[in-house]
Amino acid sequence: MKLVVQRVTSSSVEVEDNIVGEINEGLMVLVGFSENDSEREADYLANKLTKLRIFQDENGRMNKSVKDIGGKLLLVPQFTLYASTKKNRPSFHKALNPNQATELFDYFSNKCSEVVGVETGEFGAYMKVELLNDGPVTILLEKEFD
């Protein structure tokens, strides 16, 4: 499982000219699942994501989590995070199949929403994502259990 985490001052996802998810201060997160991922990886990364201290404290140090600042998450499903670029045309054979990935994305979103507010993109849809990266701060989180 991979997460591309971006600290934002605002972010939104649009599907067919409609905003389906929108946040102000928080984290916009691209979420990808591999063929081997399960609830175990989702649990681990939901915990890690909601506790990740990448917001500034009163001393200007990255020492606060999204929960600490009262921010939200905008979670965007992104199967292309598992693209194999061995050839010039990417292959996505390592990505989890869409049915299982949809279930795991919903599970992950629900786990995160137990801690902070969550908005989401739409699985399987053509999405337009806007964000104003704050910092910029972008971090890759990934977890694969053996």
What are the sequence ranges of the domains in the chain? Answer: 2-142
Q: 89 pLDDT exceeds 80? A: yes
Work out the average pLDDT over 40-55.
97
Q: 106 pLDDT exceeds 90? A: yes
Task: Classify the phi-psi angles of 82: left when phi > 0, otherwise alpha if psi is within -120 to 50, otherwise beta.
Answer: alpha
Burial 96-123 (b: 16+ CB within 10 A, else e): beeeebeebbeebbebbbebbebbbbbb
Work out the average pLDDT over 16-25.
97
* Structural class in CATH, domain 2-142: alpha beta
Q: 49 pLDDT exceeds 90? A: yes
